[in-house]
Every structure is written in structure tokens, then in C-alpha cells.
Amino acid sequence: MARAGNSAFAHMFKMPKLWSFPLRMAGALFGALVCMAASAMAGDQDTYQKALDSVGGRAALEAVLRVEARLSGINYEPMENVVVETPIHTSDDKLRILWEPGSNRFRRETVLETIFPFKGSWTYQEVFNGSAGILTGRDGFRPSAEKQLAAARIGADLKEFWLFNPQFLLAHARPVEGASSQGSSAAEITLSLPDRPTSWRVRLDRERMLPVRLSVTEQDPVFGPVEVTATFSDWRELDGIMTPFRVVKRVDGALVRQEIREAVFYHKTGESDAFKLPDEPAAEALDASLTSWGWDMAHWFLRRAAMAAPADADQSHPVEFLEVAEGVFQVLGSSHHNLVIVGSDSLVLVDAPLYDRRSRAVLAALAKRWPDKPVRDLVLTHHHNDHIGGLQPYVAAGARLVVPGRDHGFFDALVRRTLGIEAEILPVSVPMTLRDFSKEVSLHLVPNSHANDMLAVYLPEDGLMFVSDLFSPGRSAQNPLLASELLNAIRFQGLAVSRLVGGHGRGVEPLSALEAAARR
């Protein structure tokens, strides 16, 4: 019986000769694919090991408890400039950094000299003990009292430590299988840290197998996913570890930082008090979601900090409406403000500050207060990223963009890139009044030194003008040059402006305040 059963079983799986050749070919192909995959994985490991050995090897790098670096940097901003996407020199800095790659504890001491948007000197320290952080000193227009270090800033700082130190990334990360590539002059491997899903793409010099470029994909409020790269040169051997002494950082191809390491030390023993936080006030535990937010948008947070204009607290809420004229409200609750003009059946909104999470909160508040009045027009005063970073939610909700005429192509390409649609855009090249709106809304170009094209929104019925950056009602710090340029435009165009409200500062001030700022 057993023999018969086995015979029947064998007969059932006996294939005719017609099918034997295709099956043998399929089996051979499958085997070849398996071999190719195994070969690719072996190639990934081999390339990774050569790169790791080139910078000193795992044992030497993992033996380093703490990295100390003294360096100088030059910072640039491609989206806070006079001409669209042309980097402007914003600041210089001197840094002393202590960082533990194994624990991610760090101390970052900064002396920052800003050139743009205001000249100033700022000295501050950031300390993170692995679970909480403190900021002391003054890192911009903030009180100098000791305060908790924002979770987003911690995430951004940690991201840059890894980005600027490829030798330690090679030791602490692991290769992503099947993601390497080979070229005649360079090889590329992809790495991943165990606690973060980020893909780090490392380009290697084929001759020495040293990293020449490290790139990651980050989120940008304006452009969406962007490539952030660090390129390395001036490699030197320190304690058996190859170390780059010059680093250049770019975002979406635009220069944002040049860094020179003046001295680097590798500490292999000893505990340090450098990461100790003061007992009072007790620092709160980190919000992991905000740390991840800072990690994912690290370049943006660090670029803001480099201008002494940090924006690393979550400013999506609150959303407050301050009435500055009948049916006209300044939208408060963050460092950057909108203006909402209420019409009979729709709304006109001016500027889209910061990022999409702020815009979604503003849209929700608008819908709650004026449920039957959608945003018809979104007027963007100028192209700077802190005033347009939240434009996508408004466009997705159906708003028409109203922009300076020479920026039309920039905004058209931007919406196509981020939303994949063709937005309705109204370019303004001469003084213009928005048609078919129940309240007269007049738009005027202001020649100035801050942004190549700048729109001011003028409401003749109220004698009220909204402007961003050129003058900030309610603020003590003003730029006399920008204030005088705005005043000249008002006078030359014969506008009967009596009061001003801004994208910064709270509430309104009379024209005399602008005149006083221009005389400083």
C-alpha cells in the first residue's frame, strides 16, 4: 500500500517533457536572482567595510566617548534674500561643541554675529543631557533668562552632528542592503541609524574610500522634500581617525553653511559635567513628536537660528483675531501674522507664515468663525520663506494666489512641485484693486532693499496699510532704511495711509511711528 501510495504521489507530480524545459529555465533564473541578491548584499558590506576602515575602523571610532570641536562658520540663507533663491550672507559664528555619539548628549556654545536681518551679537549655550535640555544666554530676540531648550532644536542639532561627522556615522549606522551603487570615480552606500528611519546616502572617493558627500532628504515648508548635503574636504588623521576639517552644507542645491574646524579632540575616558543641567528649574521631558519634527526639518530650524530669529517652538496654536478696522483682523498667535479681510461672501487673507501646520490651524479657526466664507484670495507680500511657508493648505483649499508680478514664475513652479496642480495666480505689476470683493482692497509695490518685489495691502476706507518686515508696529527694533523706503513709497504713490499693521508686531500704529522709525 505504501508503495502504491508513493507511486501515485510520484505520478501526480510527474511533468510532461513539454513543461520540463520552461521549469528548468525558471529555476535557473530564480537561482541566478538569488545569487545576484547575495552578491549585491556582499558588495554592500564590502563597500561599507572599506569606507569604515578608511576613516579608522569601528574599534577606534567606538572607543571615542566624547567629541570636542572648536570651529567657525559662515551662514547663508537662500530664501531670505533680495532676489529669489539667491543665498545672502546672514551671519558668522564661533562654536565649541561637545558631543557624545553613543548617548547623543551634547553641549553647543555659540557666539553669533548677525549681518541680516539685523546686525547684532548673540552668545548662548545649548545643553542636552540625553532626556532634557536647557538654553542659557540669548539666541535672538528672546529674554536671556535660562529656559528649556526646545525639542525641535534638539532634534535639529542632533541631525547636524551626524550630518557633519561622517566618520562617526559610518561606525554607528549600518548599511542598507541593496542600496549601494558603483561608478568609475565614486561609490555610494546608504546607511541607517538604529533609532531613526533616516536614509543617509554616502558618496565615497573611489581612490581613498573616504566620504566626499553625505546627503539626506528633509522636509521644507516651502519646497516639500529637499536634498540636504554636506561635502567634506581637508581630511586629517587624529588619533588614528580620519577627520574632515572643512564642511559645506547645501539645501536643494543652495549654499547655507561653510564650516572650518579649527581644533578637534577625541576623548576616550572620563565623565564630564558639561551635560549637567541645573537643578532649578527642572527641565521637562522631551515631546518625542517635536524632536522628530526638528529632526525632519533640521535645516530650516538651524537656518532660522543662524539669523538670530529662532522659530523652534511649535507655533501652530493659538489662533487669535485682533480687529484693527471694521471687518479687518490681524491673525495673532505666532511670531508671524496674517491679515484677514472679511467680505460679504468670502475672505481675503494676507501672507501664509511659517509652515503648513500653522496654516491648517488658521484655516480651521477661519472656518469656525466665518463658516460660509471661504478664503478667496491669498495675497503674498514677498517670497521670503517665513511668510510663504504655509501657502499649500490655502491653495489646496481653493484660494487664488496674488503675488508680486516678477515672482509669478517662482510661485507657479512651486505649486506644481509641491501640490502637482496648476494654481490660479494673479500677478501684480502695477497698483491694482481686487475685483468683485465687497471691500476695496488695493495692492501696491514697494521698492525696497529687503525683497526684490514687495506688496503692501492698502484699505482706503480705513486708511490702513498692512506690510511685512519693512515696518513692524509695536516693536521697538526697527530698520531705519526699510522704514524710510516704505515711507517714500507711500508718499510717492499718494496713499492716504494713517495707520499701519504688520506681519510682525501686535496691533496698529499711526503713520507718525513709521516717520519716527525712518529718522533713527
pTM (2 decimals)?
Answer: 0.89
Whether the Cβ atoms of residue 67 and residue 165 lie closer than 8 Å to each other: yes
Question: 332 and 299: one domain?
Answer: no
Question: 278 and 325: one domain?
Answer: no
Give me the mean pLDDT over the 29-58 stretch.
Answer: 72
Ranges of H-type helices in 55-116: 58-62
Which residue, of 306, 336, 361, is where some domain finishes?
A: 306
DSSP tag of 469: S
- Looking at the structure of the chain, the number of domains it has is 2
Phi, psi of 467 (to 5 degrees): -145, 145
Phi, psi of 517 (to 5 degrees): -65, -35
Residue of 458, 460, 472, 459 whose CA lies nearest to 502? 472
CA distance 305 to 184: 40
Task: Kindly report the CATH number assigned to the domain that includes residue 83.
Answer: 2.50.20.10
Residue of 256, 246, 198, 231 whose CA lies nearest to 76? 256
Three-state DSSP class for residue 98: strand
Predicted pLDDT at 42: 57
Question: 277 and 131: one domain?
Answer: yes
Ranges of H-type helices in 90-176: 151-163, 166-172
pLDDT tens per residue, range 393-444: 999 999 999 999 999 999 999 999 999 999 999 999 999 999 999 999 999 9
CA distance 98 to 105: 8
Burial 486-502 (b: 16+ CB within 10 A, else e): bbebbeeeebebebbbb
Question: What cell numbers appear for 342 in the block?
Answer: 472679511
pLDDT tens per residue, range 373-393: 999 999 999 999 999 999 999
Burial class (CB in 10 A: 0-12, 13-18, 19+), 299: buried
Question: 286 and 383: one domain?
Answer: no
Report strand pairing: 186-192 vs 181-182. Answer: antiparallel
Question: 334 and 215: one domain?
Answer: no
- Furthest C-alpha separation in the chain: 111
Whether the Cβ atoms of residue 247 and residue 232 lie closer than 8 Å to each other: yes
Strand arrangement, sheet containing 347-350: 320-325, 328-332, 338-342, 347-350, 375-379, 400-404, 425-428
CA distance 247 to 101: 19
34-48, 140-154, 183-197, 443-457: which range is least confident on average? Answer: 34-48
Question: 225 and 337: one domain?
Answer: no
Residue 199 lies in a domain: yes
Cβ neighbors of 20 (< 8 A, separation 6 or more) are: none
Q: Which domain holds residue 210?
A: 53-306
Give me the mean pLDDT over the 217-246 stretch.
Answer: 98
CA distance 304 to 393: 22
At residue 133, does pLDDT exceed 80?
yes
Terminal C-alpha separation, the chain: 109
- Polymer length in residues for the chain: 520
Q: Which amino acid is at 452?
A: N
Residue 220 lies in a domain: yes
Question: What cell numbers appear for 157 in the block?
Answer: 542639532
Task: Kindly report the CATH number assigned to the domain that includes residue 396.
Answer: 3.60.15.10
Residue 183 lies in a domain: yes
Residue 39 lies in a domain: no
> Please, what sign has the CA dihedral across residues 464, 468, 472, 474?
positive
Residue 479 lies in a domain: yes
At residue 1, does pLDDT exceed 90?
no
pLDDT tens per residue, range 451-507: 988 999 999 999 999 999 999 998 888 999 999 999 999 999 999 999 999 999 999
Whether the Cβ atoms of residue 363 and residue 375 lie closer than 8 Å to each other: yes
Place of cell 532693499: 449
Predicted pLDDT at 147: 85
Higher pLDDT, 40 or 231: 231
Q: What percentage of the chain reaches a pLDDT higher than 90?
A: 81
Which residue, of 253, 283, 306, is where some domain finishes?
A: 306
Ranges of H-type helices in 259-335: 288-296, 298-306
Ranges of H-type helices in 348-479: 356-369, 385-388, 391-396, 408-419
Question: 194 and 326: one domain?
Answer: no
Question: 270 and 412: one domain?
Answer: no
Question: 380 and 274: one domain?
Answer: no
Predicted pLDDT at 33: 44
Q: Which amino acid is at 235?
A: W
Residue 46 lies in a domain: no
Residue 118 lies in a domain: yes
pLDDT tens per residue, range 341-377: 999 999 999 999 999 999 999 999 999 999 999 999 9
Question: 362 and 268: one domain?
Answer: no
> Please, what sign has the CA dihedral across residues 155, 256, 201, 166?
negative
Question: 370 and 271: one domain?
Answer: no
At residue 123, does pLDDT exceed 80?
yes
Residue 167 lies in a domain: yes
Question: 360 and 297: one domain?
Answer: no
Run of H or E including 37 = helix 17-54
pLDDT tens per residue, range 11-32: 333 444 444 545 555 555 555 4
At residue 295, does pLDDT exceed 80?
yes
Place of cell 553669533: 112
Three-state DSSP class for residue 247: strand
Whether the Cβ atoms of residue 311 and residue 386 lie closer than 8 Å to each other: yes
Predicted pLDDT at 6: 41
Question: Residue 301 — pLDDT band, cuts 50, 70, 90?
Answer: very high
Which residue, of 274, 306, 338, is where some domain finishes?
A: 306
Predicted pLDDT at 196: 86
3-state secondary structure 342-356: ECCCCEEEECCCCCH
